[in-house]
Structure 1
Amino acid sequence: MSLIVATVMAVALSAVAQQAEPQMKHQDTEVYAPVPPAVTPGKNDGDPPSDAIILFDGKNQDEWVSAEDHTPAKWIVIDGTLKVSKEHGVGNIETKKTFKDYQLHIDWKIPTTIEGSDQARGNSGVFLASLGPGDAGYELQVLDNYNNKTYVNGQVGSIYKQAIPLATPSRKPGEWQTYDIVWTAPRFNENGSVKTPAYATVFFNGVLVENHFELKGQTLYVGKPFYKAYDKAPIKLQAHGDKSEPISFRNIWVRELTFDPSYMLK
């Protein structure tokens, strides 16, 4: 058989095979169920939507406890804000509820009277999963970096000691700032090994600073990160113990997220 004849036969067979395959219609890739739940957005950007769990509305600390012993939180509520009480000593607080995957919104403000430099200038943290006093957990750094130099994997907007932020859109001390966070918790196998790692996406003052960053484990001050198996965990706010007036928090809410694989095209 000549090369020309073989080529013609191959082309013919390919054409027959293509004709035998059913031609797809646009309806074949359209999905109508399950229908996503309706959510009423907040009136303004940053306001909680209808399905949000309100963690702090400016009135009380009912959704929070001491991270050390789970006694009632001993921070103070003043002028609609939540801040560390120096009269009761410093101490981290965490949510009574535990969470897995979620969307979190939180406003925070560095005081105009802030003092210090480097890491001792408005230092706090939003811990995306608090694993107890003996573990570091997973920290998104809070710090004044408007005019304050520090190591970039520990500056504001960093996943502490792991992810350098993509930008530094800090406002001046005395001005409110916002974090909008999407947290995907790690999954573990029955033997405690990592099945899928944790991911974090962070918008800081509306600017993307962490883009679906894959965490290597807990955010340690010293040493290499590692994972420790857990299912759900509280969200924690850090009282760092700086000598200056503590920072303020307000408008804290969270939306629990669930992944439904039936939305995916087969």
Structure 2
Amino acid sequence: MSKPVFLALVCCLGWVSLANGQEFLSGIEWPEPQVVTPGEKPTDAPSDATILIGSEGMSAWKGGDQWKFAEGVATADKGGIETKEEFGDVQVHLEWASPEEVKGRGQGRGNSGIFFMGKYEVQILDSYDNPTYFDGQAGAVYKQSPPMVNAMKKPGEWNTYDIIFNRPVRNDKGDVIAPAHITVLHNGVVLQNSYAVRGSTNWHKPPAYEPHGEKGSIGLQFHGNPVKFRNMWVREIKPIEPTFVPEDTEMVRYKADWSTEKMKTAPAPETSAAPEEKAEPESKPAEPAKEDAKEEK
């Protein structure tokens, strides 16, 4: 069969399939997605981002004047800092470098951290040939979830974090009905894949959820090491909400109280084929009668 004839046959079969089938229409009406202009490079801030560390200094931070800043690079010093603006669910990009001169070991080497809502920490640490407890390595959800792999660059080289943080969801009573989730990419490598956070990431006690608002500051820790930061930006993210949902729709739309909503499953496809008949087990041949082991004397 020639190639043109084959392609024509494929097209005809496709049209027949469309004619015999019926397109699914949910009936849900959606707003047009907002246009966001991306940066020239994937690591550059998109048009709707808030710049936290850029070329303009540390004005976005409480306590930012405690840190050293020069030519777009902030160096941790004298204390932790937190953003003046508060955020809910966010996408964060930051670039960081541990000190080029290696001093200390374990948790005393290139240690910092990024905190969400002041409660949930993604660890920053020089994890290049630096043994420590695994849930304290770079990219760990501190004391809860080790990174799936170690993607650390050499001391002094710039690392990137791309983090998606979803806050915990509470009901009217304040009970957590959906945990916080954290996704971490370190130098483009997935370390945390929508990890369900167990509560505050404490160093001295087990994790537990504590009361806090729906928005909170983003913090950077000073742990005694001059860790450097640059090109840090944040986008607050919100699920797109439909403008109209038919009452009889079979679609299950996003709800904050997902834990109380039963998900609908697709019905099993009908089949007219008769169930396979099970083959009769083959009969085993009769075992020969055992002779009397006793010899006649």
- Give the TM-score normalised by the residue count of structure 1: 0.80
Is residue 30–residue 241 contact of structure 2 (8 Å, CA) maintained in 1? Answer: no
The answer for the alignment partner of 1:8 in structure 2 is none
Structure 2: stretches of 5+ with no match in the other structure = 1-19, 246-250, 253-297
Q: CA shift at 1:228, angstroms?
A: 1.2
- After superposition, the C-alpha distances for 1:16-61 in whole angstroms (9 at most, x for unaligned) are xxxxxxx973151486631211111110120001111111113311
The SS at the match of 1:153 is helix
The SS at the match of 2:25 is helix
* Change over 3 Å in CA distance of 1:28–1:191 after alignment to 2: closer
The answer for the alignment partner of 1:122 in structure 2 is 110
The answer for the alignment partner of 1:13 in structure 2 is none
- After superposition, the C-alpha distances for 1:176-220 in whole angstroms (9 at most, x for unaligned) are 000000000012223322121100001000000000000000001
Q: Distance in 2 between matches of 1:113 and 1:79?
A: 21
Q: Distance in 1 between matches of 2:126 and 2:37?
A: 34
- Give the TM-score normalised by the residue count of structure 2: 0.72
| Partner AA of 2:42 in structure 1 | D
The answer for the alignment partner of 1:170 in structure 2 is 152
The answer for the alignment partner of 1:59 in structure 2 is 56
Q: Count residues with an aligned counterpart.
A: 226
The answer for the alignment partner of 1:144 in structure 2 is 126
The answer for the alignment partner of 2:286 in structure 1 is none
Q: 1:155 and 2:137 equivalent? A: yes
Is residue 83–residue 249 contact of structure 1 (8 Å, CA) maintained in 2? Answer: yes
* Change over 3 Å in CA distance of 1:25–1:35 after alignment to 2: farther
Q: CA shift at 1:84, angstroms?
A: 2.3
The answer for the alignment partner of 2:238 in structure 1 is 258
Q: Distance in 2 between matches of 1:98 and 1:29?
A: 36
Q: 1:238 and 2:221 equivalent? A: yes
Is residue 188–residue 229 contact of structure 1 (8 Å, CA) maintained in 2? Answer: no
Q: CA shift at 1:111, angstroms?
A: 1.6
Q: Distance in 1 between matches of 2:184 and 2:82?
A: 20
Q: 1:75 and 2:75 equivalent? A: no
| Partner AA of 2:179 in structure 1 | P
Q: CA shift at 1:107, angstroms?
A: 0.3
| Runs of 4+, deviation exceeding 6 Å | none
The answer for the alignment partner of 2:12 in structure 1 is none
The answer for the alignment partner of 2:87 in structure 1 is 99
* Change over 3 Å in CA distance of 1:262–1:33 after alignment to 2: closer
Which of 43, 53, 67 aligns to 1:46? It is 43
The answer for the alignment partner of 2:273 in structure 1 is none
The answer for the alignment partner of 1:19 in structure 2 is none
The answer for the alignment partner of 1:247 in structure 2 is 227
Q: Distance in 2 between matches of 1:250 and 1:170?
A: 17
| Partner AA of 1:225 in structure 2 | P
Q: Distance in 2 between matches of 1:31 and 1:204?
A: 37
